[in-house]
């Protein structure tokens, strides 16, 4: 057992009320071990609770006042002493006594008069067992810490990758990455609101809510494949351009799928990202795109994303439109209840609309619009006053079909 | 020891030339362990060196032909069996005998008649 080699000599505590027995046992043991002795149960408990504790206790049963059973019981009750192996030393050798002692947590019995080779053999065995046990325990703790550390690293890499990918898509059509931050927080807020709802509770576990939050930024990743002349067009898209714009859903889905295929295995959060990218433009009544899914066919993650995305699109200023007020956005979205949006998801949104407003304000674009529309009037800098003048075009499509 | 939770029950090899002792011991052990038995030293060595060696051997000393000491000596000489813990079961309780057995590499001694509570946790 090289791994367990210890320089320290093990300490054995011998407990017996008979001085002769203490002398006999310590003579036997002291050539190999450090020996401590206790002439009563009380003293034994005191020595056992010192730091460092003994490595093993040889415990007489028949003692006045506190007997060996009681000492053992108290040792096993205290977390500091419960792992010290106890061997009973006894003149009694009734089977029931032995069973009682072992049930109290002792590891073995040695019958008096003791046989020195047996005492030495048992002590050696139980010390070896204890060391092995401690070694495994330390090893497990070490491994658990190591796993936690590596897991944390993997999570960080994952987060950075998602944000980098999402930012690529984002920077093409807005000035800041705040749309990503807002929508992922709207989605999380909605998920938390709906987690106890009978229709959604099965899906909205802690793990899935976390995954939703992380994968939400990838919902528009497919926009990297949309030509600038369409993505950045400062006006209404014509039908053929709109058809191209719609492909951002399948482009995003396919990009993530290719990544998955290259990895050769499916990763949970990528599956969720894929379904959000593909289906966040679907509508409850089946009039959305790209697959025209309806009702519960639309993945829950995508239904939450639809509400978050539309709200953000409505209140945000784009190259082709002004942002709306929070109140106006709510009014328009209400019209889409059970047609555009899952009614329960929309109701949850209405219930926590103040939270949406707060998120919008906290992660406002560096631009006066979102702030003014949501009720906060920031100090205007000269540059921002100019910016407003440029954004006067009408919304891309009527009512709720904004937020491509 | 939960940490070492084994999927399979450990196997104990019982070696004794007295059928009554084999019966007694296997009745005691078989609810918690898989028990193999050998009624002589030669058989014990054969079972111990098989493809599925036992996890522990309870070995009687006084046996006709090959005695327990010799079985232990041979077990400890073979790389395939040297790491199997051996506990001697003996009617004798002479200190020199115990010393001899432990020096041969046995981990412990249990004196017959055995005490069931002591055999079980060993």
On the question of pLDDT at B122 being above 70, the answer is no
**ipTM for the whole complex:** 0.78
Contact yes or no for B107 and A99 at CB 8 A: no
Q: Mean of the pLDDT values across residues A75-85?
A: 94
Q: Mean of the pLDDT values across residues A119-145?
A: 90
Q: pLDDT digit string (tens) for B65-74?
A: 999 999 999 9
pLDDT band (50, 70, 90) for residue A67: very high
According to DSSP, residue A217 is labeled G
Q: pLDDT digit string (tens) for A309-332?
A: 999 999 988 766 788 999 999 999
What is the phi/psi pair of residue A36, to 5°? -115, 145
> What CA–CA distance (Å, rounded) separates B78 from B57?
15
Q: pLDDT digit string (tens) for A198-252?
A: 999 999 999 999 999 988 988 988 988 899 899 888 888 899 999 999 999 999 9
The minimum CA-CA distance between B54 and chain A, rounded to whole Å, is 19
**Residue B115 confidence (pLDDT):** 63
The minimum CA-CA distance between B95 and chain A, rounded to whole Å, is 6
> What tokens were used for A366?
């560096």
- pLDDT > 70 fraction of chain A, expressed in percent and rounded: 85
Using the structure block, give the residue that is written with the tokens 């793990």. A207
**Residue A174 confidence (pLDDT):** 63
Option in A102, A120, A136 nearest B121 (CB): A102
Contact yes or no for B117 and A95 at CB 8 A: yes
> What CA–CA distance (Å, rounded) separates A361 from B52?
71
The better pLDDT of the pair B82, B96 is held by: B82
The number of residues in chain B equals 122
Q: Buried b / exposed e across A232-249, counting CB within 10 Å, b at 16+?
A: ebeeebeeebbeebbbbb
Which residues, including other chains, have CB under 8 Å from residue A252's CB and lie 6 or more apart? A169, A218, A219, A220, A221, A222, A223, A274, A277, A278
pLDDT band (50, 70, 90) for residue A399: very low
Q: Mean of the pLDDT values across residues A275-284?
A: 96
**Residue A271 confidence (pLDDT):** 87
- pLDDT > 90 fraction of chain A, expressed in percent and rounded: 56
Nearest residue to A13 (alpha-carbon basis) of A131, A154, A127: A127
On the question of pLDDT at A395 being above 50, the answer is no
Q: Mean of the pLDDT values across residues B12-41?
A: 92
What is the phi/psi pair of residue B86, to 5°? -115, 130
| Interface residue A113 vs chain B (CB under 8 A) | no
Interface test with B, best of A121, A122, A124, A137 (most B CBs within 10 A): A121
On the question of pLDDT at A391 being above 80, the answer is no
Contact yes or no for A98 and B118 at CB 8 A: yes
Q: pLDDT digit string (tens) for B97-117?
A: 788 888 999 999 888 776 666
Contact yes or no for A136 and B3 at CB 8 A: yes
Residues forming beta bridges with residue A37, ordered by sequence position? A14
The minimum CA-CA distance between A122 and chain B, rounded to whole Å, is 7
The minimum CA-CA distance between A133 and chain B, rounded to whole Å, is 8
Q: Mean of the pLDDT values across residues A349-367?
A: 89
């Amino acid at each position: 057992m090289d791994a367990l080699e210890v320089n320290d000599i093990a300490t054995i505590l011998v407990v017996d009320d008979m001085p002769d027995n203490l002398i006999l046992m310590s003579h036997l043991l002291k050539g190999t071990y450090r020996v401590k002795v206790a002439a009563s149960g009380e003293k034994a408990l005191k020595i056992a609770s010192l730091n460092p504790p003994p490595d093993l206790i040889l415990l007489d049963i028949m003692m006045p006042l506190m007997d060996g059973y009681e000492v053992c019981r108290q040792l096993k009750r205290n977390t500091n002493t419960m792992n010290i192996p106890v061997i009973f030393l006894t003149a009694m050798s009734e089977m029931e006594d032995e069973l009682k002692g072992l049930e109290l947590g002792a590891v073995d019995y040695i019958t008096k008069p003791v046989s020195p080779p047996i005492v030495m053999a048992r002590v050696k065995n139980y010390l070896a067992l204890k060391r092995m046990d401690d070694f495994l325990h330390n090893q497990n703790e070490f491994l658990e810490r190591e796993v936690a550390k590596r897991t944390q690293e993997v999570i960080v890499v994952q987060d950075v990758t998602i944000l980098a990918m999402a930012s690529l898509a984002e920077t093409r059509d807005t000035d800041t990455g705040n749309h990503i931050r807002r929508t992922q927080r709207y989605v999380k807020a909605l998920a938390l609101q709906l987690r106890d709802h009978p229709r959604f509770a099965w899906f909205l576990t802690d793990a899935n809510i976390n995954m939703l939050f992380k994968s939400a930024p990838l919902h528009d990743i497919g926009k990297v494949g949309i030509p600038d002349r369409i993505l950045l067009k400062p006006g209404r898209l014509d039908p053929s351009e709109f058809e191209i714009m719609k492909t951002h859903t399948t482009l995003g889905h396919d990009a993530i799928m290719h990544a998955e295929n290259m990895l050769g295995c499916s990763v949970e959060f990528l599956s969720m990202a894929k379904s959000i990218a593909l289906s966040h433009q679907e509508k409850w009544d089946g009039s959305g795109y790209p697959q025209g899914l309806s009702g519960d066919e639309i993945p829950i993650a995508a239904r939450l994303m639809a509400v978050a995305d539309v709200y953000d699109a409505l209140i945000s200023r784009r190259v082709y439109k002004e942002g709306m007020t929070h109140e106006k956005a709510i009014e328009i979205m209400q019209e889409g209840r059970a047609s555009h949006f899952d009614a329960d998801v929309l109701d949850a949104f209405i219930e926590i609309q103040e939270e949406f407003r707060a998120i919008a304000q906290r992660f406002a674009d560096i631009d006066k619009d979102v702030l003014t529309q949501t009720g906060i009037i920031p100090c205007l800098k000269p540059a921002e006053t100019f910016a407003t003048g440029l954004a006067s075009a009408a919304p891309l499509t009527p009512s709720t079909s904004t937020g491509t | 020891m939960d940490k070492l939770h084994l999927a399979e029950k450990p196997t104990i090899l019982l070696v004794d030339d007295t059928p009554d002792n084999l019966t007694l011991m296997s009745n005691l052990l078989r609810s918690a362990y898989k028990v193999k038995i050998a009624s002589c030293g030669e058989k014990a060595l054969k079972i111990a060196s098989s493809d599925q060696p036992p996890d522990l051997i309870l070995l009687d000393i006084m046996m006709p032909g090959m005695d327990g000491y010799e079985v232990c000596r041979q077990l400890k000489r073979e790389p395939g069996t040297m790491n199997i813990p051996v506990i001697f079961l003996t009617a004798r309780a002479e200190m020199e005998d115990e010393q001899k057995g432990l020096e041969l590499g046995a981990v412990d001694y249990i004196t017959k008649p055995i005490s069931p509570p002591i055999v079980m946790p060993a």
